[in-house]
């Protein structure tokens, strides 16, 4: 199925092709994506209403998150992700839990490697938890929230030592879901998001090196 202009632009932002602060020009996008200018114009308008793009004079640029917005993002993410883990512990099928466990084991091979590969694996892991919650409205909200992660500079998984710590946290989350312990799954996910936020703040403050 052919992807529309909106999806193509979102993917370009998520992949880092367009970074926070980059200017998006309608004619250039249309040529690059191989589509006409009308769907590009509509996609840009939609992305602006979703706060993925911001105005810089007459131009549209990829938005970025300031400190307060970052704190707000992680506060909401922590609550929604925790709820997803709680519901997954209650509703996930055995097959879905085995997939989560397999992801944790497979992702260990990425430790110490390219942070971008780790980031993609991390997104897959979290999306699997979202789907395992079996709550379509929660999944929709988390999908919108996760798009905003593209507005952050880099990934916290690039911070020194964060990849191994995050993998251990993933292991605890899955163990709680395997045990069908919703409280423990919720708490483990809250801790995981809190550590990710703390790591990002320490990187921005220059306390941690990144690879």
Of 150, 155, 173, the closest CA to residue 113 belongs to 155
pTM confidence score: 0.83
Please indicate, yes or no, whether residues 102 and 15 belong to a single structural domain of this protein: no
Domain boundary (62, 77, 110) is at 62
Please indicate, yes or no, whether residues 153 and 101 belong to a single structural domain of this protein: yes
Number of domains in the chain: 2
| pLDDT tens by residue, 127-142 | 999 999 999 999 999 9
- List the single range of 77-91, 96-110, 143-157, 166-180 with lowest mean pLDDT: 143-157
Q: Compare 59 and 170 and report the one with higher pLDDT.
A: 170
Mean pLDDT of the chain: 91
2 has pLDDT over 80:
no
Please indicate, yes or no, whether residues 42 and 126 belong to a single structural domain of this protein: no
Please indicate, yes or no, whether residues 96 and 44 belong to a single structural domain of this protein: no
Domain boundary (44, 62, 80) is at 62
Residue 153 confidence class, pLDDT cut points 50, 70, 90: low
| pLDDT tens by residue, 33-83 | 888 899 999 999 999 998 899 998 888 999 988 889 899 999 999 999 999
**Is there a contact between 111 and 104 (Cβ–Cβ < 8 Å)?**
no
CATH number at residue 171: 1.20.120.530
Please indicate, yes or no, whether residues 142 and 186 belong to a single structural domain of this protein: yes
Tell me the CA distances in angstroms from 175 to 50, 85, 128, one per residue in order.
Answer: 35, 11, 15
Distance CA 96, CA 112 (A): 27
Please indicate, yes or no, whether residues 93 and 11 belong to a single structural domain of this protein: no
Q: Return the pLDDT at 160.
A: 82
Please indicate, yes or no, whether residues 155 and 85 belong to a single structural domain of this protein: yes
154 has pLDDT over 90:
no
Q: Looking at the domain assignment, is residue 197 inside a domain?
A: yes
Domain, as residue range, for 154: 67-204
Tell me the CA distances in angstroms from 167 to 7, 103, 157, 159, one per residue in order.
Answer: 30, 10, 10, 13
Please indicate, yes or no, whether residues 125 and 31 belong to a single structural domain of this protein: no
Q: Looking at the domain assignment, is residue 209 inside a domain?
A: no
Of 146, 109, 114, 110, the closest CA to residue 127 belongs to 146
Q: Return the pLDDT at 207.
A: 78
Angle at 192 between CA 137 and CA 186, to 5 degrees: 50
Please indicate, yes or no, whether residues 130 and 79 belong to a single structural domain of this protein: yes
* Ramachandran bin of 61, using left for φ above 0, alpha for ψ from -120 to 50, beta for the remaining angles: beta
SS (H, E, C) 117-172: HHHHHHHHHHHHHHHHCCCHHHHHHHHHHHHHHHHCCCCHHHECCHHHHHHHHHHH
* Torsion on CA atoms 68, 121, 195, 13, rounded to nearest 10: -10
Q: Looking at the domain assignment, is residue 189 inside a domain?
A: yes
Please indicate, yes or no, whether residues 57 and 73 belong to a single structural domain of this protein: no
CATH number at residue 36: 1.10.10.10
Q: Looking at the domain assignment, is residue 161 inside a domain?
A: yes
Please indicate, yes or no, whether residues 167 and 142 belong to a single structural domain of this protein: yes
Q: Looking at the domain assignment, is residue 34 inside a domain?
A: yes
Residue 156 confidence class, pLDDT cut points 50, 70, 90: confident
Please indicate, yes or no, whether residues 170 and 78 belong to a single structural domain of this protein: yes
First to last CA, the chain: 37
């Amino acid at each position: 199925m052919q992807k529309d202009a909106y999806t193509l632009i979102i993917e370009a932002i998520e992949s880092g092709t367009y970074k926070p602060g980059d200017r998006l020009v309608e004619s250039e996008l249309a040529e690059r994506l191989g589509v006409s200018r009308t769907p590009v114009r509509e996609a840009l308008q939609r992305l602006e209403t979703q706060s993925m793009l911001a105005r810089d004079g007459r131009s549209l640029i990829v938005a970025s998150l300031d400190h307060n917005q970052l704190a707000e993002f992680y506060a909401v993410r922590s609550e929604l992700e925790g709820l997803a883990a709680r519901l997954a512990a209650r509703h996930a099928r055995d097959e879905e839990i085995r997939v989560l466990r397999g992801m944790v084991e497979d992702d260990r091979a990425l430790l110490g490697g390219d942070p971008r590969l780790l980031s993609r694996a991390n997104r897959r892991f979290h999306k699997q938890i979202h789907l395992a919650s079996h709550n379509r409205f929660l999944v929709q909200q988390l999908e919108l929230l996760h798009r905003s992660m593209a507005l952050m500079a880099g990934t916290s998984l690039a911070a020194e030592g964060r990849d191994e710590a995050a993998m251990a946290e993933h292991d605890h989350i899955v163990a709680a879901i395997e045990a069908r312990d919703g409280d423990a799954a919720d708490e483990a996910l809250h801790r995981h998001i809190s550590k990710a936020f703390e790591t990002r703040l320490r990187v921005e403050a220059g306390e941690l090196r990144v690879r």
